Amino acid sequence: METESKILIVDDISKNIQMAMNILKNEGYKMFYAKSGEMALKLVDEHNFDLILLDIMMPDMNGFEVCSKLKNEARTKKIPVIFLSGKDSSQDIEQAYECGGIDYVVKPFITIELITKVNSYVRLKQLEDKFEICKG
Question: What would the mean pLDDT of 12-22 be, rounded to a whole number?
Answer: 97
Query: Would you say residue 136 has pLDDT above 90?
Result: no
74 φψ region: left (φ > 0), alpha (ψ -120 to 50), beta (else): alpha
Question: What would the mean pLDDT of 31-56 be, rounded to a whole number?
Answer: 97
Q: How confident is the model at residue 135 (pLDDT cuts 50, 70, 90)?
A: confident
End-to-end C-alpha distance for the chain, whole angstroms: 22
Query: Would you say residue 1 has pLDDT above 50?
Result: no
Instruction: Record the pTM.
Output: 0.95
**Is the domain defined by 6-135 classed in CATH 3.40.50.2300?**
yes
List the chain domain ranges: 6-135
Q: How confident is the model at residue 107 (pLDDT cuts 50, 70, 90)?
A: very high
